[in-house]
Amino acid sequence: MSQNELTNIRRQIETAYEAMLQGLAELAPGKARDDCYRIYTEHVGRYQYKLTQYVSDAEAAQIVCAAYEKASQNRKRTGS
């Protein structure tokens, strides 16, 4: 896998997490919020599976966790 592909997948995961966090912030607790969370975690899961075709399961999990952490930190910094 090229570094470019890995970078693109990481960006896609970060974008999915940022969208999820934004959606969760805008939705009241309930089914819609639960559905938002489920949809985005399934989406990220597909990216994680794609990563495991190129890196170990553990490394893929670390990439996903790092992307979530980055998205969370970005959200805290921007206050949105």
The whole-angstrom separation of Cα 70 and Cα 66 is 6
Cβ pair 73, 39 in contact under 8 A: no
Query: Which amino acid would we find at residue 65?
Result: C
Q: What is the pTM of this model?
A: 0.79
Task: Calculate the alpha carbon distances from 40 to 1, 3, 4, 37, 80 in Å.
Answer: 25, 25, 23, 5, 18
Closest listed residue to residue 14, CA positions, set 78, 59, 69? 69
pLDDT one-digit tens code per residue, 18-60: 888 888 888 888 888 888 888 989 999 999 999 998 899 999 9
